[in-house]
C-alpha cells in the first residue's frame, strides 16, 4: 500500500517474528549459548506462525515465549522512558503487564505474513555489554534479510533485548510508540496503561 | 541528523506539522479502509500466484531506469553498471522484464532514488510529512519521489503501463503481500501515526546511512 516500500514491512514483520524462544540454562553468556537461544526462538516462532491454531492461542503462546526469552521488564522500561522512575510499583506492574500483552498482540499479527521462510545463523559480534547474533532470513526471489538479535546475560540467563532488521529496531519502535502515546495522553502513565489495555 | 539538530523533538524526530500530519494520517487510514484494503484483498484473491510473480518482476524492472540514473548522479559507478546489466539481461533473456534471470546470475537490484541523491549531495532530511495518498516521508524524500515520478519513462507511456497504473499496482501488490503487518500497524497500534512515522524514519535513515547509533542505545536491566 501507499505507506511504505516493500522492504520496510519485511523488516517490521521480521522484527515481529522472533521475540521468543525456548528457556535456556544459566551459564556465562558465550556465543554458542546466545546463538542457541536465538535459533531456538526462530524455530519456535516459525512453528507458531505455521501452526493452525486460532489467533488468540498464537498471541498467548507468543506472550509465553516472549516472557521466557526476552527481558520484557528492561524492554518495557526502556520504551516508557523517563516516567519509569516516578511510577509506583503498582503502576509498573500494571504497565508491564499491559505492555507485554500489547506487544504480543501486535507482533502476532505482524509476523503472520511471513510463512515458510527459513533462517540461518550468520555470525555474531560483541557490543559494549551485549552480544549481537546475526541471522539471515531467506526469502524467495529476494536477497536474504539480515536480522540482528541483541542478547545480554541477565540474572544468569541470556535474554533478548532487541531485534533489528533493515534499520528498524523493535526497541526503538516501541520507545517511539510509547512516547507518542504519552504525549497524546498528557504524559499520564495511567492513561497510557488504559490505552494499552484496550488495545491489547 | 544535522537537519534537525536545532529543532529536534522527541527521539530525533522533527515533526513540526504533526497536527496536520495526523489529519492526513486519518485520511490515509480511511482511504485504506474504504479503498486500498478491499481492492488489494480482491486483487490478492483473484490473481494467480504466477501472474503476481510476473507483475512483481515487471514492477521491479520498471524501477531500473530510476536506479540507474540516481546511481550515476551519485557517482556510484559499479551499482550503476550492474543496474544496466540487470536491465539488459532481464529485458533480453527475461521476456522484457517479466522474468528475473539476473538475480540467478547474482546481478542484484541496486536501489537508488532521487531522495538518496539529494542526501548524497548534502541536502538535509527536513521535516516529517505524512501526505494524503503518498503516506510517510520527509521533505527531502517526498521531493525525491516527485522528481523520480516526473522523470520516469512510464509516466509518459500511455495505458496500460502509465505511471499511475504502476503506482496503483505497486500499492495493491504491497498491501496484499503485507496484509497482516499493515493491518496491525494501522488498526492495532495504540498510536498508528507514531508507529508509521517511527518505522518509516528508522528504515529510511538506515538506508541512507544516517541512522543514529541505534544499536548501542543504553538499556538498563537489573
CA distance B70 to chain A (A): 17
The residue among B18, B191, B217 with the most chain A CBs within 10 A of its CB, best to mutate, is B191
In the predicted structure, residue A18 carries a pLDDT above the cut 60: no
* Residue A149, min C-alpha distance to chain B (Å): 10
Q: Does A193 score more than 90 pLDDT?
A: yes
**Alpha carbons B161 and B141: distance in angstroms, whole number:** 24
Residue A66 grid coordinates: 516472549
**Which pLDDT does position B4 carry in this prediction?**
35
Q: What is the pLDDT of residues B15-57, one digit of tens each?
A: 999 999 999 999 999 999 999 999 999 999 999 989 999 999 9
Higher pLDDT, B111 or B217: B111
Q: Which residue segments constitute the domains of chain A, with CATH numbers given?
A: 6-199 (3.10.450.710)
Over residues B103-121, mean pLDDT: 94
Q: Please list every residue in chain A whose beta carbon sits closer than 8 Å to the beta carbon of residue B49.
A: none
Residue A42 contacts residue A135 (beta carbons within 8 Å): yes
Residues of chain A with C-beta less than 8 angstroms from the C-beta of B10: 179, 183
Any CB–CB contact under 8 A between B18 and chain A? no
Cα–Cα distance measured from residue A25 to residue A41, given in angstroms and rounded to the nearest whole number: 14
Contact call for A113 and B179, based on CB within 8 A? yes
Distance CA B146, CA B87 (A): 23
Q: What is the pLDDT of residues B132-147, one digit of tens each?
A: 999 999 999 999 999 9
Query: Which of B180, B197, B222 faces A110 most closely, judged by CB atoms?
Result: B180
Whole-number pLDDT of residue B145: 94
Q: Which residues 30-59 in chain B show a CB within 8 A of chain A?
A: 31-32, 36-37, 40, 53, 56
- List the single residue in A159, A161, A167 with the smallest CB-CB distance to B207: A167
Least confident of A102-111, B74-83, B151-160: B151-160
Interface predicted TM-score (ipTM) of this complex, two decimals: 0.85
**Exposure b/e, A15-44, CB count within 10 A at least 16 = b:** bbbbbbbeebeeeebeeebbbbbbbbbbeb
Average pLDDT over residues B114-119: 97
Whether residues A172 and B198 touch (CB distance < 8 A) is answered with: yes
Residues of A in contact with B174 (CB under 8 A): 1, 4-6, 9
DSSP letters, B152-185, are: -HHHHS-TTS-HHHHHHHHHHHHHHHTHHHHHII
pLDDT tens, residue by residue, A146-162: 889 999 988 888 999 99
Task: Assess B61–A contact: CB distance below 8 Å, yes or no.
Answer: no
The rounded Cα A28 to chain-centroid distance in angstroms is 23
**What rounded mean pLDDT belongs to chain B?**
89
CB contact under 8 A, A199 and B181: no
Do B200 and A161 make contact, defined as CB atoms within 8 angstroms? no
Residue A148 phi/psi, 5-degree rounding, is -110, 130
Strands B128-131 and A131-138: unpaired
If you measure CA to CA, which chain B residue comes closest to A11?
A: B203
Predicted confidence (pLDDT) at residue A142 exceeds the cutoff of 80: no
Do residue A2 and residue B133 have CB atoms under 8 angstroms apart?
yes
Q: How far apart are CA B210 and CA B2, in angstroms?
A: 10
- For residues A76 and B219, is the Cβ–Cβ distance under 8 A? no
- Sort out which chain B residues have CB atoms less than 8 A from A16's CB and list them: 181, 184
Residues of chain B contacting residue A183, judged by C-beta atoms under 8 Å apart: 10
Encode pLDDT of A44-95 as tens digits: 888 888 888 998 999 999 999 999 999 999 999 999 999 999 999 999 999 9
Amino acid at each position: 500500500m501507499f505507506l511504505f516500500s516493500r522492504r520496510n514491512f519485511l523488516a517490521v514483520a521480521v522484527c515481529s517474528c522472533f521475540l521468543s524462544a525456548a528457556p535456556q540454562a544459566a551459564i556465562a553468556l558465550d556465543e554458542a549459548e546466545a546463538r542457541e537461544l536465538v535459533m531456538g526462538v526462530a524455530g519456535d516462532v516459525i512453528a507458531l506462525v505455521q501452526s493452525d491454531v486460532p489467533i488468540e492461542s498464537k498471541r498467548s503462546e507468543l506472550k509465553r515465549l516472549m516472557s521466557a526469552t526476552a527481558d520484557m521488564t528492561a524492554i518495557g522500561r526502556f520504551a516508557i522512558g523517563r516516567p519509569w522512575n516516578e511510577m509506583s510499583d503498582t503502576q509498573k506492574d500494571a504497565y508491564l503487564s499491559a505492555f507485554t500483552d500489547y506487544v504480543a498482540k501486535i507482533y502476532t499479527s505482524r509476523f503472520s505474513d511471513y510463512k515458510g521462510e527459513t533462517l540461518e545463523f550468520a555470525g555474531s559480534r560483541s557490543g559494549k555489554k551485549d552480544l549481537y547474533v546475526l541471522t539471515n532470513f531467506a526469502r524467495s526471489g529476494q536477497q536474504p534479510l539480515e536480522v540482528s538479535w541483541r542478547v545480554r546475560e541477565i540474572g544468569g540467563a541470556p535474554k533478548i533485548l532487541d531485534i533489528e532488521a533493515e534499520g528498524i529496531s523493535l526497541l526503538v519502535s516501541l520507545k517511539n510508540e510509547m512516547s507518542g502515546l504519552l504525549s497524546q495522553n498528557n504524559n499520564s502513565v495511567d492513561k497510557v496503561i488504559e490505552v494499552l489495555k484496550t488495545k491489547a | 541528523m544535522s537537519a534537525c539538530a536545532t529543532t529536534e523533538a522527541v527521539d530525533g524526530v522533527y515533526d513540526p506539522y504533526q497536527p496536520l500530519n495526523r489529519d492526513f494520517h486519518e485520511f490515509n487510514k480511511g482511504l485504506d479502509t474504504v479503498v486500498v484494503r478491499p481492492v488489494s484483498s480482491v486483487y490478492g484473491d483473484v490473481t494467480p500466484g504466477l501472474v503476481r510473480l510476473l507483475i512483481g518482476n515487471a514492477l521491479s524492472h520498471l524501477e531500473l531506469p530510476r536506479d540507474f540514473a540516481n546511481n550515476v548522479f551519485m557517482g556510484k559507478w559499479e551499482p550503476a553498471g550492474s543496474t544496466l546489466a540487470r536491465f539488459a539481461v532481464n529485458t533480453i533473456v527475461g521476456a522484457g522484464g517479466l522474468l528475473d534471470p539476473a538475480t540467478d546470475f547474482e546481478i542484484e537490484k541496486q536501489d537508488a532514488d532521487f531522495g538518496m541523491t539529494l542526501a548524497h549531495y548534502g541536502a538535509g532530511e527536513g521535516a516529517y510529512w505524512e501526505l494524503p495518498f503518498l503516506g510517510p516521508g520527509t521533505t527531502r524524500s517526498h521531493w525525491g519521489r516527485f522528481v523520480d515520478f516526473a522523470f520516469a519513462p512510464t509516466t509518459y507511456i500511455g495505458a496500460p503501463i502509465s505511471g499511475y497504473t504502476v503506482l496503483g499496482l505497486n500499492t495493491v501488490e504491497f498491501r496484499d503481500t503485507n496484509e497482516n503487518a499493515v493491518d496491525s500497524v494501522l488498526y492495532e497500534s495504540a498510536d498508528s501515526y507514531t508507529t508509521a512515522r517511527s518505522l518509516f524514519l528508522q528504515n529510511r535513515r538506515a538506508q541512507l546511512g544516517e541512522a543514529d547509533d541505534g544499536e548501542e542505545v543504553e538499556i538498563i536491566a537489573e
